[in-house]
Amino acid sequence: MSVSTISESVVSEKDAMTTVTPANPDSPILVTGATGKQGGATARRLLAGGWPVRALVRDLTTPAAAALAAAGAQLVRGDFDDPASLPPALDGAAALFGVPPLSFTPVGSTTDLEVARGRALIDAAAAAGIKQVVFSTLASTSTEVPGSAGKALIEQYLHDHIALPTVLRPVRFMTNYLSDGAIGIDGISNGVHRHLFPPHEPMQIIALEDIAEFAALAFAEPTRFAGRTLELAGDEPTPVEAAAAITEATGIPVRYERVTDEEAAAISSEVAAIRKHWHTGHQWHADIESLRVIHPGLRTLTDWLTESGAAAIRAHLTAP
């Protein structure tokens, strides 16, 4: 099966006129990672659009799981490390939204375990007769991104075993400005946002809601999006411009500071490799204008800040 990216395929006039309605209104879409960022946003978007949603969770009693149930999702317990739990979760499902089953150690991601988890999910979907899977992985660059090897193997396995596969490759989330920066990058601490990116070069970002919107579009028209790989971004300010936009929207001074080589190496070898990768010009390359033809409501950073981001950042930074 051939795989086409958005930049390689011609965007048709029909792309601009899509009405997002359930393709299978009587059968649920199973959403993995539903208590997390991408899965949670996708579950909420599908529920809002009238899709029945079944949410795969490891713990049925968490506040996030309870919120999903209150929103109308059917909860089902499952764990990628317990393959026997996956077939019951997929039984009767119309389609699957999958998020990378990440595995981290102090020195970085564990590719073998990540691939084993991804393949277990895909195998279970294929065995259940599910024809459509939308899998969200990681934005690509001109060369392999450190930590992306497992996702590439999962993507290929998906195309080899599922009839109607769609791969979404989102860049950095706008909500990352709300992270705690525990490892020394991301988030905002003491008025400073620290990261690996050069301060005055474009940095592509995307709103979680827009990842969910592309997933909904794919589920609405399975054959149209089958075999497609979409590199996803909604805006590309420089880190300095982003900090200025956050300052203006929140009224809280924020400045950008780039992590040094030494600081990156002290975090982990993988983080150091990513900084070097970015420094040598290997950056994300989503075609934002083409994406906006498919999804005209694609959010810029300013849109996201106005809609919800500024309030969320302000609450996060002023919390006791």
* pLDDT tens per residue, range 174-192: 999 999 877 888 999 999 9
Q: Considering its fold, how many domains does the chain have in total?
A: 1
| Across 40-68, average pLDDT | 95
108: left (phi over 0), alpha (psi -120 to 50) or beta: left
Inter-residue contact 297 to 20 (CB < 8 Å): no
Mean pLDDT rounded to a whole number for the chain:
88
Which pLDDT belongs to residue 25?
Answer: 61
Pairing of strands 104-105, 108-109: antiparallel
Which pLDDT belongs to residue 20?
Answer: 58
Which pTM was predicted?
Answer: 0.89
Above 70 in pLDDT, residue 16? no
Inter-residue contact 239 to 177 (CB < 8 Å): no
Which pLDDT belongs to residue 7?
Answer: 39
CA 270 remoteness from chain centre: 20
* pLDDT tens per residue, range 242-264: 999 999 999 999 999 999 999 99
* pLDDT tens per residue, range 30-47: 999 999 999 999 999 999
Which pLDDT belongs to residue 150?
Answer: 84
Inter-residue contact 173 to 209 (CB < 8 Å): no
Inter-residue contact 114 to 151 (CB < 8 Å): yes
Parent domain of 224? 4-318
How many angstroms separate the CA atoms of 58 and 81, rounded?
A: 10
Give the CATH number of the domain where residue 165 resides: 3.40.50.720
